[in-house]
Amino acid sequence: MKPITVPLALPECGEEEIRAAAEVIRSGWLTTGAKTFEFERRFAEVVGARHCVAVNSATAALHLALEAVGVGPGDRVLVPVHTFTATAEVVRYLGADPLFVDCDRETFCIDAALIGSALQAAQSKSGPEKVKAILPVHFAGHPCPMDGIMDRSADLGVKVVEDAAHAFPAVYRGRGSKRAMDNGRTIGSIGDVTCFSFYANKTITTGEGGMLATDDDAVAKRARVMRLHGIDRDVWNRYAEPVSQWAYDVVAPGFKYNMPDLAAAIGLEQLKKASRFRQRRQAIAQAYLDQLKDIPGLVLPRPRCSMEDHSWHLFVVLLEEKDTRNGLSRDGFVAGLKERHIGAGVHYIPLHRMSYYRDTYHLTPEMFPNSEWVFHRCVSLPIFSAMTDDQLAYVIDEVKKILG
């Protein structure tokens, strides 16, 4: 097959997004305003949350969420070690400390048992931990087992803040759950707060952006204030009303995290296409599963949820070192893809390998055997809604050649 360039990810934006952005530019109001509030309302309807607060990144949403649920200096937050640094760094923003949790070897998510092991290990070293929150990551778009996590949070008396940067739209179905999740709950309607990403490579995009979803009135109110300098009124309300209401109060030293209307307008158009985007990613994932299943040494995803409940933000395969022919390593496989102009990623270099977390918290690979095992084997193949059939066929063909 003739060489084709296939990026790891690519946003799918059309004339609708261009027109929406142009409309905002022509309106003369570019920052947070009517489009942002409409995006919040519509997104809340889709995920089944009472409130949504639009911000400029998922990192901002996570920071605001933890601040709003009361995380502060001296607290601990249970955080997966197999994640991007943003999940843990927001804990440090607040002077709290992450308590790292190993991942499951198949889903790469955390569960109640792994949380229990992390707590037990921490208590054996330093006594009872002052845990304030659990921060599960729905890795690659695969929902974490939320019934067990919610039960564990209730036992501990702590809040659950979900990192759903990969997981829009996704659904969790419990198994004999006490929390009425057997028939399915949309990610965004389960934990105390859920945080989504609209970064350029995510399932829908605003270029840069994020959303905080919650049913908690107090959390939503606090997040709205803290996203804009701790001011008690949005700028839209102060300056866009028929009679300018210039007076405002600063009730806390807040942050600059608001989403502008320019981004929200793009988000509104992307939201209309979200279901179609997810269906296309599922079709790509199914093609990979069907056509790469017989390659020795290649381990494909084994989701514990249905194909329809997974958001398929990432498609992560594993290379079994003992079975891979010709001594081809994971890095050699990635190099082979690169030579063929195929994008690939490693999600993720675990946080226990990052010098800051390793040195600050005295972490070692032996403490996180599952994450360490996954890290040495994992590769993310291209998956994005704009991926053409020719690109998909090319990736499948070249993976077979490299490994076969």
Residue 7 located in a structural domain: no
- Residue ending a domain, choose from 271, 290, 316: 271
Confidence of residue 77 (pLDDT cuts 50, 70, 90): very high
**Residue 2 φ/ψ, nearest 5 degrees:** -60, 135
pLDDT at 246: 78
Looking at the predicted structure, is the pLDDT value of residue 323 above 60?
A: no
Residue 138 lies in a domain: yes
Task: Verify that 266 and 301 share a domain, yes or no.
Answer: no
The tally of domains found in the chain comes to 2
Same domain, 195 and 318: no
Whether 127 is covered by a domain: the verdict is yes
Clarify whether residues 280 and 262 are in a common domain. no
Same domain, 193 and 313: no
265 shares its domain with 380:
no
Could you say which of 240, 271, 302 is where a domain stops?
271
**Is the C-alpha dihedral spanning 339, 341, 342, 348 positive or negative?**
positive
> Can you say how many angstroms the Cα of residue 302 is from the centroid of all Cα atoms in its chain?
19
What is the arithmetic mean of pLDDT over 222-233? 95
User: Do 221 and 237 belong together in one domain?
Assistant: yes
Q: Which helix (H) or strand (E) holds 178?
A: none
Question: For 149-196, how does the pLDDT look when each residue is reduced to its tens digit (9 = 90+)?
Answer: 999 999 999 999 999 999 999 999 986 555 557 689 999 999 999 999
- Looking at the predicted structure, is the pLDDT value of residue 235 above 80? no
For residue 355, the one-letter residue type is S
If asked whether residues 208 and 300 sit together in one domain, one would say no
Average pLDDT, the chain: 94
On whether residue 9 sits in a domain, the answer given is: no
Q: Examine the residue annotation and report whether 202 is marked as an active-site residue of this protein.
A: yes
140 plus 32 within the same structural domain: yes
**Average confidence (pLDDT) over 336-343:** 97
Taking only the tens place, the pLDDT of each residue in 101-138 is 999 999 999 999 999 999 999 887 766 679 999 999 99
pLDDT of 234 strictly over 90: no
For residue 94, report the phi and psi dihedrals to the nearest 5 degrees. -95, 5
Please tell me the distance from the alpha carbon of residue 270 to that of residue 205, in angstroms, as a whole number.
Answer: 7
Residue 326 has pLDDT above 60, yes or no: no
Single residue among 271, 287, 319 that ends a domain in this structure: 271
341: domain range?
Answer: 274-403
Same domain, 351 and 238: no
Give domain status of residue 313, yes or no: yes
What is the structure's pLDDT at 244?
Answer: 60
What pairs with residue 160 in β-bridges?
134
Res. 382: pLDDT tops 50 = yes
**Domain-embedded: residue 322:** yes
166 within domain boundaries: yes
Distance CA 84, CA 89 (A): 9
Residue type, 316: V
Q: Mean pLDDT, to the nearest integer, of 324-331?
A: 71
Question: Looking at 2, 178, 202, 400, which residue is catalytic?
Answer: 202
Q: How many whole angstroms separate alpha carbon 179 and alpha carbon 26?
A: 47
Same structural domain for residues 264 and 304?
A: no
Residues 6 or more apart whose CB falls under 8 angstroms from that of 333 comprise 319, 324, 344, 379, 402, 403
Q: Are 238 and 271 in contact (CB under 8 A)?
A: no
- CATH code, domain carrying 316: 3.90.1150.10
CA 12 – CA 257 distance, rounded (Å): 25
Residue 8 placed within a domain: no
Q: Which residues pair with 199 in a beta bridge?
A: 207
Q: What CATH number does residue 36 fall under?
A: 3.40.640.10
User: CA 289, CA 32: separation in Å to the nearest integer?
Assistant: 42
263-276: pLDDT as tens digits: 999 999 999 999 99
Q: How far is CA 327 from the centre of its chain?
A: 34
| pLDDT bracket for residue 315 (50, 70, 90) | very high
Give the pLDDT band (50/70/90) at residue 9: very high
Let me know whether 127 and 148 are in one domain.
Answer: yes
Both 307 and 397 in one domain: the answer is yes
How much is the pLDDT for 324? 43
